[in-house]
Chain A
Amino acid sequence: MYIDPHVHMVSRTTDDYERMALAGCVAITEPAFWAGYDRSSAAGFFDYFRTLTEYEPRRAAQYGIAHHTWLCINPKEAEDLGLAREVMSIIPEFLERPSVLGIGEIGLNKNSRNELRIFEEHLELAGRHDQMILIHTPHLEDKLKGTRLILDALDDAGVDPGRVLVDHVEEHTVELVLDRGYWAGMTLYPETKCTPQRAADIFEVYGQERIWINSAGDWGPSDPLAVPKCQQELRSRGHLEEMIRKVSFENPLKFLSQSGKFRTTSS
């Protein structure tokens, strides 16, 4: 049994829901993200938010998976401040919906001034509406710098670290995140983030407190079964079932339950 706390099912087929259910997935959370192209208006985001809060929960339920979401305008579309602010203005009307857990995945992409400004405005939005926060850290060569900028902005905003998950950590950023009291997510990608083996190494070196794994499955090279594959890697190394359950079920359950809306189909 497991929870995949970060997966973009709008980009995946219904067959993937079936395979995830067969592998033991009982709940997922789906942050709002970049569609692979820039949307031309806030209306495009309004329709996307309806997809995330109406259509995907129904599709997931057909396979016994509880679906939840996080809403925002992602950093790749944050260079246009006018569009970003217009999109943020429509988010509050969705926040009361039963499957919306908070604001995400916000953060930085290329570490630009406009991205940082919109990130800070999202933090203000979350604060005004008492929302939890899911954060995207940048890719590859931009990750270390972006993680430092994000952590500084979080500290400046005075958010409760226990209600913030900083995602896509790797060997050079995991300690920065955990040492400041935030939750950390490891994304299991075949090329550009952690492999299941490296995630297992990170658990062994940095422990299993306030940290989880996710597939972040989307329209690029990714694997919606990455979480059970990491479970299998841990099992093959001789880790106890209790430890495997902690990082792939209990930890996400503990963090996400703070929203008051999170549920699994096993509960």
Chain B
Amino acid sequence: MTNPDERCPVPADEVVGRYFLEHRAKLLDIAAFLDRVERAGAPDDDFRIEAMHRAIDQLGVKGHDRARRIQEIFSDPSLEPVDAAPMKGALGAHDPESADD
């Protein structure tokens, strides 16, 4: 169920200029975060960082659904309820090594 007229109403010659600096800064935040993780000596195979790298790969794939694809990368793909809640909170990315997979 998508809107037949899904265009963003911001004029094409304005939309990049309006949002570019904000998102350039966010991209640099990600780069600096990954540098920080590396300088701290965190393991390369942390599932959250691995998911982030897979998500970053999606940024270069054209289409109107990058946000949706990245949300799905971070999501638990399983279908059955778990036997018991392991904790209250969430970590932001699914751990493939979690007990219920």
Contact with B along A197-220 (1 / 0, CB 8 A): 110010011110000000000000
Return chain A residues, CB-CB under 8 Å to B68.
171-172
Q: Is there an interface contact between A141 and B1, defined as CB atoms closer than 8 Å?
A: no
Number of interchain pairs (Cβ within 8 Å): 99
Q: Is there an interface contact between A198 and B91, defined as CB atoms closer than 8 Å?
A: no
A113 at the interface (CB under 8 A from B): yes
A154 at the interface (CB under 8 A from B): no
Q: Is there an interface contact between B81 and A112, defined as CB atoms closer than 8 Å?
A: yes
Return chain B residues, CB-CB under 8 Å to A145.
75-79
A263 at the interface (CB under 8 A from B): no
Q: Is there an interface contact between B82 and A239, defined as CB atoms closer than 8 Å?
A: no
Return chain B residues, CB-CB under 8 Å to A239.
9
User: A173 to chain B: closest CB distance in Å?
Assistant: 8
Contact with B along A157-184 (1 / 0, CB 8 A): 0000000000000111001001100000
Q: Give CA–CA (A76, B90) in the complex, Å.
A: 12
Interface size class on chain B is 35 or more
Contact with A along B65-96 (1 / 0, CB 8 A): 10110011011111101111111111111100
Q: Is there an interface contact between B82 and A144, defined as CB atoms closer than 8 Å?
A: no
How many chain A residues have a CB neighbour from B under 8 Å? 37
Residue from A144, A178, A205 in contact with B72 in the complex, judged by beta carbons closer than 8 Å: A144
Query: Among residues 1 to 30 in chain B, which have CB atoms less than 8 Å away from a CB atom of chain A?
Result: 1-3, 6-10, 19
Return chain B residues, CB-CB under 8 Å to A140.
74, 90-93
Residues in chain B within 8 A of chain A (CB atoms)? 1-3, 6-10, 19, 64-65, 67-68, 71-72, 74-79, 81-94
